[in-house]
Amino acid sequence: MEAAAQAMLARHRENDALPVEPDLAAKEARHIERLTTEAARMRQWLTAHPEERKGAKGKVVKSNRTDNESAKMATSKGVIQGYVGVAAVDDRHQIIVEAQAHGSGSEQALLLPVVEAATPLCAPDTLITADAGYHSEANLKALAEQDRPALIADNRMRKRDERFKDQGKHKAQPDPLYDKAHPKKAAGHYRPKDFDYDADAGTCVCPAGKSLYQNGANCNHNGHLVVKFQGALRDCVPCDQRDKCLRTPEKTRTRQVCFFRGKARTTPESYTDIMKRAIDSERGRALYGRRFATVEPVFGNLRHNKGLDRFTLRGRTKVDAQWKLFCLVHNIEKLAHHGYAQ
């Protein structure tokens, strides 16, 4: 202990002998000079590249001056600056038939370029499957117009599948000592789900036990059919739950509530609705269920077995070449294991 104390004292004496740190004014002046120089370089670059990094809608998106072709992407570890690797895989042998790397944070814009590039390898009955990241009305419309069979999941697909109704119990519970999520606030007012609505009888009872009268059975609200109910003056005005039922009880006299019954027939069916019906069918679920076993092991092989957990180059051309190189190694390995080496 005495030796440790002497070593600490010697280290302190060495630190005391060092020159005194410059004053704050000098540090601040150097900091201002660095910011001014960096701002001048950035303004010069923006002037020389006015059309760089235009987004899908023509607006300029945020970019990185070191690698302008990369993009900001949201990941499980936060927002990073990088590229996304996309691959189309054959379901029979897990051979990568098309691979592309893009500096885009949105996967929706990457589906059609990959499909177009893989078209020469597709048969008339080739089925294209993709996860919810590639789902958009524009993509579904383009595939339908090209008469390409496809199953593209939406972000509510598993919610509609009764096979996943108990999936919540398998999720890892949050750490109570490190849960910094904001607690969900309870609803301040009664919502439609708090009312007792009987669709067959056409009746509605409020949380206070009073019956509401129907003032619209087939109303069109943003392309959806709704049934409207309204409370009576004799029930709502003297009710002691007006503060919970009305947002402005001093101005509003009665409560109105509506219940959705589906889309109106006058509204044309969207490509999203058509895709939902196809993917929710028994055959659609069986076909789409093969997607996970087809493509996810390929990404697992590239990421963990081949060690491509991050791109190490800059510029889309170089990153795309690196991505294709790793995919090529994967294909060679697949071909060798299937007997082509002999």
> Once rounded to an integer, what is the mean pLDDT over residues 180-199?
79
Q: What percent of the chain has pLDDT over 70?
A: 89
Question: Does the pLDDT at position 180 exceed 90?
Answer: no
CB 229 within 8 A of CB 192: no
> Once rounded to an integer, what is the mean pLDDT over residues 277-287?
92
CB 90 within 8 A of CB 104: no
Question: Does the pLDDT at position 168 exceed 60?
Answer: yes
* Residue of 109 and 268 predicted with greater confidence: 109
* Residue of 144 and 60 predicted with greater confidence: 144
Q: Which of 150-164, 182-196, 249-263 bottoms out in mean pLDDT, i.e. has the lowest?
A: 182-196
Long-range contacts of 206-213 (CB under 8 A, 24+ apart): 206/231, 206/235, 206/245, 206/255, 207/241, 207/244, 207/245, 208/235, 208/239, 208/240, 208/241, 208/245, 210/235, 210/236, 210/239, 212/255, 212/257
Say what the pLDDT of residue 125 is. 87
Mean pLDDT of the chain: 86
Say what the pLDDT of residue 106 is. 83
Taking the domain 82-161+280-337, which CATH number applies?
A: 3.30.420
Note if the pTM is more than 0.85: no
Q: Which of 109-123, 312-326, 328-342 bottoms out in mean pLDDT, i.e. has the lowest?
A: 328-342
pLDDT in tens, 70-109: 888 887 778 888 999 999 999 988 999 999 999 887 889 8
Q: Please report, for the chain, the start and end positions of each structural domain, with discontinuous segments joined by +.
A: 82-161+280-337, 192-263
pLDDT in tens, 102-130: 988 788 989 999 999 999 999 888 999 99
HSE-CB of 110 using CA atoms within 13 angstroms: 21
Question: Does the pLDDT at position 182 exceed 70?
Answer: no
Say what the pLDDT of residue 111 is. 94
Helix 282-300 crosses helix 271-279 at what angle (to 10 degrees)? 90
pLDDT band at 341 (very low <50, low <70, confident <90, very high): low
